[in-house]
Amino acid sequence: MSKILIIEDDVAFCTMLKTFLQKKDYEVFTAFSGNEAIPKIKKETFDVVLADVRLPDIDGIAILDEVLENSSETQVIIMTGYAEVNKAVSAIKQGAFDYVSKPFNPDTILQTIKKALKSNATTSVVPKKQEVNCTQNTSKKTSASFVRGVSDASKKLNEYVALVAPTRMSVLVIGDSGTGKEYVASSIHKASKRADKPFVAVDCGAIPKEIASSEFFGHIKGSFTGAVNDKVGHFEAANGGTLFLDEIGNLSYELQVQLLRALQERKIKPVGSNKEIEVDIRVIVATNEDLSHAVKEGDFREDLYHRLNEFSIKVPPLKDRIEDLMLFANHFLEESNIELEKHVVGFADEVLEAFKKYNWPGNLRELKNIVKRSVLLSQGDMIVLSILPNDIAYASHNSKQTYGLFKNQNEQELILDALEKANGNKAKAARMLSIDRKTLYNKLKQYDISL
């Protein structure tokens, strides 16, 4: 029977979680403070430790250090609210297995525990500190590969990616500029059976019409003026793997016909050649426009549209993934530190508030650029408000609506608006307001709000 230690100062929540896990046949121990937990960690060896990142005496990071010091096999899962996501990300870098955001569904923590136990079973016995160092070294090479969001929108996106990835279906990725459509396409490829084959990304808007056929299907030497060598096209380069066509709506009508034929016949003919080449590719396309409208207007072939749209995925804008904001910000901070050879630790509190209030019209691309610019300009360990562009730094002055509670006259209005946006889901409303569920219940009682 696996042993689990829960370290949580909310006694009612801790007791509820203990009862739930005991019903799942785990041996569960509890501690309501860090000082109560540490002797148990030194005395017993636990398979999994669930630690709240914020405790009344010490934080979850100190608990993590204590566990790493005493056991090489114990997996630590950090429990955190939205406001402490920074600490949770730091904990993972230091050796924590994963983190879960509160409030969470019990089934969510159960799945995370099972993954942690499975990781224990499949991991060779290596001192934990060594494992952490290895993880940190490789993360620099693969940091751009995956950032899993915790928002409802991100969870739905991730579910769709996991669902369609193992299939051979063509996928249409729809989303505003800067939302990460190529990242989604790459994630589908990496989770597919073609993961060890090429992933070729093509920006359809950047290919001149005159050489488009050559770019896609290749050409042979001497086939036209300037063709001084044989050229392999994108289709042949992606053979066996995935071809990602970004901004597919920019293709000329003539090239749409050629693309449809290539997809249907699975054969291509380089420009100037009489020889057909068989290709086995999966196609993922992306657009930030309404292709169905383009079909109605006659600008995009209906048969090609249906051929490409076997499965569609909508990538949400950053403003609808506000719970993920600091996950992405910390990810971009780490990337920028590596690229710029800097050592910025994190974001000042007023920067976090400004980020949450800003609308992010440029989505993830804008966030990445802002974080990189801020790292470059930063003279200290923290990114401060004064180095942000004015439209972000003073977003709160122009914002009529924000999902953060303050001691002001519109607090009740903010709560009601969040509940409406969350369709009455109190847990989701609490996350939108950046507070825990207990605080929300107290506020509902204070303002006599009933649902």
Confidence band of 246 (pLDDT split at 50, 70, 90): very high
Look at residues 246, 265, 247 and name the one whose alpha carbon lies nearest to residue 307: 265
* pLDDT of amino acid 49: 93
Select the more confidently predicted residue: 108 or 117: 117
Mean pLDDT, residues 120-140: 38
Asked if residue 424 has pLDDT above 60, the reply is yes
**Sequence ranges of the chain with CATH classification 3.40.50.2300:** 3-142
pLDDT beyond 90 at 282: yes
pLDDT for residue 129 is more than 50:
no
Lowest mean pLDDT among 87-91, 209-213, 304-308: 87-91
Predicted confidence at residue 406, as pLDDT, reads: 46
For residues 182 and 385, what is the distance between their CA atoms, to the nearest angstrom? 31
Give the pLDDT score at 121: 63
Tokens read off for 53: 């990142």
Taking 50 as the threshold, does the pLDDT of residue 437 lie above it?
yes
Evaluate if residue 83 carries a pLDDT over 50: no
- Phi, psi dihedrals of residue 28, rounded to the nearest 5°: -115, 135
For residues 71-89, average pLDDT = 73
**What's residue 149's pLDDT?**
78
Write out the residue limits of the CATH 1.10.8.60 domain(s) in the chain.
Answer: 318-398
Q: What distance in Å separates the CA atoms of residue 132 and residue 130, rounded to the nearest whole number? A: 5
Return the structure tokens found at 313: 């995925």
**Could you give the residue range(s) of every CATH 3.40.50.300 domain in the chain?**
152-314
Here the tokens at position 199 are 């992933």
pLDDT at residue 146, rounded to an integer? 53
Q: Provide the CATH topology of domain 318-398.
A: Helicase, Ruva Protein; domain 3 (1.10.8)
Average pLDDT of span 4-17:
85
CB count within 10 Å of CB 34 equals 21
Whether residue 106 has a cis bond before it, omega within 30° of 0 = no
Q: In angstroms, rounded to a whole number, what is the distance separating the alpha carbons of residues 3 and 426?
A: 32
pLDDT surpassing 70 at residue 190: yes
Q: Where are the alpha helices (DSSP H) in 394-447?
A: 395-398, 411-421, 426-432, 437-446
- Which residue is listed with tokens 């808007």? 205
> DSSP label at 54?
B
Q: How many helices (H) and strands (E) does the chain have?
A: 21, 14
**Pairing state of beta strands 267-268 and 277-278?**
antiparallel
* Mean pLDDT of the region 238-253: 92
Distances (CA, A) of 439 to 371, 407, 436: 31, 13, 5
pTM here is 0.59
Contact 143, 92 (CB under 8 A): no
Q: How far apart are CA 128 and CA 115, in angstroms?
A: 17
What per-residue confidence (pLDDT) applies to 285? 95
- Contact predicate 327/150, CB 8 Å: yes
Name, in order, each residue with C-beta under 8 angstroms of 246's C-beta and a sequence gap of 6 or more: 181, 182, 201, 202, 203, 204, 205, 285, 286
Question: Which residues are within 8 A (CB) of 256 and not within 5 positions of it... i.e. 6 or more apart?
Answer: 300, 301, 304
Query: Do the beta carbons of residue 308 and residue 342 sit within 8 Å?
Result: no
- pLDDT above 90: residue 63: no
Q: What is the pLDDT of residue 110?
A: 87
* 1 membership: H or E segment, kind and range: none
**What pLDDT score was predicted for residue 191?**
92
CA distance linking residue 18 with residue 87, whole number of Å: 24
Task: Return the CATH fold of 3-142.
Answer: Rossmann fold (3.40.50)
pLDDT tens, position by position, 387-404: 999 888 887 555 444 444
Who contacts 128 (Cβ-Cβ below 8 Å, separation ≥6)?
A: 68, 71, 72, 73, 74, 95
Closest C-alpha to 451, from 428, 431, 103: 428
Separation CA 237–CA 216 (nearest Å): 9
For the chain, what is the mean pLDDT?
Answer: 82
The CATH superfamily assigned to 152-314 is P-loop containing nucleotide triphosphate hydrolases (3.40.50.300)
Strands 311-314, 171-174: pairing is parallel
Confidence of residue 88 (pLDDT cuts 50, 70, 90): low
The answer on pLDDT for 138 being more than 60 is no
Whether 315 shows a pLDDT value over 60: the answer reads: yes
pLDDT of 257 over the 60 cut: yes
pLDDT (0 to 100) of residue 370:
94
Tell me the per-residue pLDDT of 333-383, one tens digit each, with 9 for 90 and over: 988 999 999 999 889 888 988 898 898 999 999 999 999 999 999 998 899
> Rounded distance, CA 412 to CA 79, Å?
28
Q: Which residue has the higher pLDDT, 303 or 223?
A: 303
